[in-house]
């Protein structure tokens, strides 16, 4: 979201600012927000989509956050989105939008859970209460894989197709920035960088990725294209 707003043209952005001011809906933090922009690339220099970036103030504690519910959909037998980053305490709903049932599970230490065969929207969300990577699967459809990366900071973002992400609502101070990706070699600590959110900060990360061992979808009945 933040990245999208940041990539608006100047004209659109100023129109948006005018509109926001007119409606007196200005967000209290917006005027004081500082950012760190990131570019994440792989060893071949290709922009890396779905990389998670997160930051901690180099001096002092992170500020508190209010976890907001998040949705990881199941549409056409795929998880959407395939990578989600949330702060600790976030409730995540796993609605099933297909007309068949799914069975969502995780064996990851950061959150082990199971939503046995179901359709529709489960009434209760799963609350992610420990930091770390959580790999999601479906018992029925082996190719269904997604990740939730849980962070203990309110400063996080995810790269788009251009490999760009923006950490927002920062103070004008120094941060330690980390990145994570499902296929990344090594730990986020291996890719740590320092950056000061002074208004024009851009940090570049070159990450080493493993080959993606993607499980092929089962052939669709009735001669579908998969
Ligand atoms: Cu499934």
Tens-place pLDDT, residues 8-46: 454 555 554 444 444 444 444 444 689 999 999 999 999
Average pLDDT over residues 190-217: 88
Q: How far is the CA of 186 from the centre of ligand 1 (A)?
A: 30
How far from each other are the two terminal CA atoms of the chain, in whole angstroms? 31
The candidate with the shortest Cα–Cα distance to 48, out of 154, 189, 165, is: 165
The candidate with the shortest Cα–Cα distance to 86, out of 155, 162, 159, 3, is: 155
Q: How far is the CA of 132 from the centre of ligand 1 (A)?
A: 24
What is the percent of the chain where pLDDT is above 70?
81
- C-alpha to C-alpha distance for 144 and 215, rounded to whole angstroms: 8
Average pLDDT over residues 41-68: 94
Q: How far is the CA of 200 from the centre of ligand 1 (A)?
A: 44
Q: How far is the CA of 217 from the centre of ligand 1 (A)?
A: 11
Q: Taking ligand 1, which is a single-atom ion, which protein residues have CB atoms under 5 Å away? A: 102, 138, 140-141
Q: How far is the CA of 81 from the centre of ligand 1 (A)?
A: 15
The model carries a pTM of 0.82
* Residue 216 pLDDT: 75
Res 63 pLDDT > 50: yes
Structure confidence by residue, pLDDT tens digits, 127-181: 999 999 999 999 999 999 999 999 999 999 999 999 999 999 999 999 999 999 9
* Residue 220 pLDDT: 58
Where residue 182 falls (left for φ over 0; alpha for ψ -120 to 50; beta otherwise) is alpha
Confidence band for 198, pLDDT divided at 50, 70 and 90: confident
| Helix, strand, or coil (residue 216) | coil
Cβ atoms of 36 and 201 within 8 Å: the answer is: yes
Q: How far is the CA of 216 from the centre of ligand 1 (A)?
A: 14
- C-alpha to C-alpha distance for 190 and 5, rounded to whole angstroms: 30
* Residue 1 pLDDT: 38
* Residue 123 pLDDT: 87
Q: How far is the CA of 93 from the centre of ligand 1 (A)?
A: 15
């Amino acid at each position: 979201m933040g990245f999208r707003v940041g990539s608006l043209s100047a004209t659109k952005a100023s129109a948006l600012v005018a509109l926001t001011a007119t409606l007196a809906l200005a967000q209290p933090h917006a005027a004081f927000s500082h950012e760190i922009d990131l570019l994440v690339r792989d060893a071949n220099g290709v922009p890396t989509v779905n990389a998670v970036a997160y930051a901690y103030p180099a001096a002092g504690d992170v500020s508190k956050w209010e976890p907001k519910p998040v949705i990881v959909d199941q549409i056409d037998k795929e998880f959407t989105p395939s990578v989600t980053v949330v702060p600790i305490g976030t409730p995540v709903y796993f609605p099933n939008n297909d007309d068949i049932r799914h069975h969502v599970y995780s064996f990851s230490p950061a959150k082990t859970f199971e939503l046995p065969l179901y359709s529709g929207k489960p009434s209760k969300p799963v609350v992610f209460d420990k930091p770390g990577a959580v790999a999601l699967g479906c018992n029925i459809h082996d190719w269904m894989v997604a990740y939730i990366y849980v962070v203990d900071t309110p400063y996080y973002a995810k790269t788009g197709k251009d490999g760009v992400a923006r950490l927002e609502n920062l103070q004008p101070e120094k941060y330690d920035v980390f990145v994570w990706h499902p296929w990344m070699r090594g730990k986020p600590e291996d890719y740590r960088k320092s950056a000061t959110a002074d208004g024009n900060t851009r940090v570049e990360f070159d990450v080493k990725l493993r080959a993606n061992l993607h499980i092929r979808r089962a052939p669709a009945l009735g001669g579908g294209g998969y």
